[in-house]
Amino acid sequence: MQLYHNPRCSKSRGALELLRERGIEPEIVAYLEQPPSPVELKTLLRKLGLPARALLRTGEAEYAELGLADEALGEDALVEAMSRHPRLIERPILVAGDRAVIGRPPERVLELL
C-alpha cells in the first residue's frame, strides 16, 4: 500500500495513524517533495475512478491563480497543473493494487483493507 501523505495535514496524519493501528505500514509517497508526473496522476485517477477535477483542492491559492475553476479546462490541463503544483492534489490518498481512495474523512482509507 502507498499513502500519498502530507505530514502537515491533520487528515493525512489521521489516515496514517488508522493504518498503523491496524499493523499496516504503507509506503509513504511524499508527493509535495517529488510531485507525481502527469502519467502517474492519470494512473492514480484511474485507480480512484475519478475525473481530475475531483482531485483538485479548490481552496489553495494556486487554484485561483491558475484559473482552474474554468470548466472549459480539460483533463490534461488539470493533470498538468496538479503535477506542477502538487499542493493542488487532494490528500491523503491510499493506493492498494488497482484501487485507491481519498482519505476524507480519514476513515475512508479503511475501505481498502
Of 9, 50, 77, 96, catalytic = 9
96: part of which helix (H) or strand (E)?
Answer: strand 93-96
**Angstrom distances, CA of residue 51 to CA of 16, 19, 21:** 25, 26, 31
Whether 12 contacts 6, CB under 8 Å:
yes
Active site residue 9: yes
For residues 41 and 68, the answer to whether their CB atoms sit within 8 Å is no
- Catalytic positions: 9
